[in-house]
Copies of this chain bind each other. A is one copy, B any other.
Amino acid sequence: MTDQQKIPQATAKRLPLYYRFLHNLHLQGKNRVSSKQLSEAIKVDSATIRRDFSYFGALGKKGYGYNVEYLLGFFRKTLDHDENTPVTLVGVGNLGTAFLNYNFTKNNNTKIEMAFDADKEKVGEVIGDIPVYHVDELEDRMGSISVAILTVPVSEAQKMTDRLVACGVTGILNFTPARISVPSDVRVHHIDLAIELQSLVYFMKHYPMDQDEE
């Protein structure tokens, strides 16, 4: 579980991207790929890709590149792509419904198992094969799920976070604008769509673009 702990965070964030691309290559029957080709496809500098891979050892072969199947197998293990991580979703509104309808499981090791909402109208529905329960049942139903997607109104964000944490959740993907507070062993990733849009506009206006930069 806990790791040899050397991989930089920036690298770790790119791993799923590598995995997905390798998976697609494999489906296409390709069995060889170079850092240059990867670079063009996923728009990450080839030296960065080689450096990223090198944290895991010598995975390629000079003059040849990387063997897709081998690399894919390696990442499958590294990213625990054999076991499926169950996820819960809280707040079945506009955004929550979109996620339930989307099949995250495809080419992915996560699966939304259940959803909760406070609105009686939503409860009992099954959206994209995922059942929606009343939020009152949260504590009873969560079981050992440790990952949650939070798509409730901002006013409910902290309250629901506290309840999720009390149920044992240690990872939250937070789509509300609230900067929620959690104990130090809980990881929160914020995805703040309004800010992404504003930030894009700011960059467009103030930065003369030259190359694709994240």
Contacts and interface: CB of A to CB of B under 8 A. Distances in A.
Nearest to A204: B171
A204 to B, nearest CB: 4
B98 A206 contact: no
B209 A42 contact: no
A26 to B, nearest CB: 16
A79 interface: yes
What does DSSP make chain A's interface, helix, strand, loop or mixed? mixed
Interface stretch (A61-69, A160-168, A186-194): A186-194
A191 B188 contact: no
Interface in A138-193: 146-147, 149, 170-171, 173, 177, 179, 181-182, 184-193
B110 A201 contact: yes
Contact of A97 (B17, B94, B205, B214): B94
A204 B94 CA distance: 27
A77 interface: no
Interface string A80-110: 1000010100000011011101101001111
A187 B206 contact: no
Contacts of A149: 197
A102 B94 contact: yes
A196 interface: yes
Given A94-B101, A187-B200, A197-B108, A205 B173 contact: no
A203 B208 CA distance: 34
Given A41-B179, A80-B205, 8 more contacts: A5-B206, A9-B207, A12-B199, A12-B203, A107-B194, A110-B198, A171-B203, A191-B196
17 contacts: A1-B205, A9-B203, A9-B207, A9-B213, A12-B199, A13-B199, A16-B202, A20-B194, A41-B179, A79-B198, A147-B200, A149-B197, A170-B209, A187-B200, A187-B204, A189-B196, A189-B203
